[in-house]
Every structure is written in C-alpha cells, then in structure tokens.
A = this chain, B = another copy of it.
Amino acid sequence: MADSWLPTLKTATPEDGFNLATKMSRMGVKVTQPSAEVRDKLRPGYADDADALIASSQVIAINFQTVAAANDYWK
C-alpha cells in the first residue's frame, strides 16, 4: 500500500478531499497519455483555454463527489 498513489479515499478535511479529487483527475489523464513529456507540452495550450479549464473543473467536481461520499461528507 505504501507505493500506491491511491491507498485510501479518506482525508482529514474537505480541502484535502478536494486536493485528492484533483490528483485523481490528473491520473485519469495520465493513464490515457502516460508520457510526461507529451502532457507537459499540452499544458500551456489547455491552461490558457477557458473551455478546457471549465472541463477540468468538471472532472474534479465528479471525483470530489466520490471522495466526499467516501468521507460521509466530513460530517
């Protein structure tokens, strides 16, 4: 488990959960394009594109739904 990038969905706080959701969203890109070189080349393009930024925020929102449910919404 020590080597896993996703050993658990539990986080201490909602903000940590949001950060985990961001990491999961990036891993979803990484499994499709494993080359860090290619991903780095693409970054300037989509980081300056409003549509891509909104789409990225949406993926984070979907992953955050999962993380929040896993943490019983940090109630």
Partner of A13, one of B7, B60, B70: B7
Partner of A64, one of B24, B52, B56: B24
Please, how many residues of chain A have a CB less than 8 angstroms from a CB on the other chain? 54
For window 22-75 of A, CB contacts with B under 8 Å fall at 22, 24-29, 31-33, 38-39, 42-43, 45-66, 68-70, 73-75
Given A14-B8, A50-B52, A57-B25, residue A73 in contact with residue B63 (CB < 8 A): no
How many copies the complex holds: the figure is 6
- Whether the pair B66, A75 counts as a contact (CB closer than 8 A) is no
Given A15-B6, A18-B27, A63-B64, residue A50 in contact with residue B57 (CB < 8 A): no
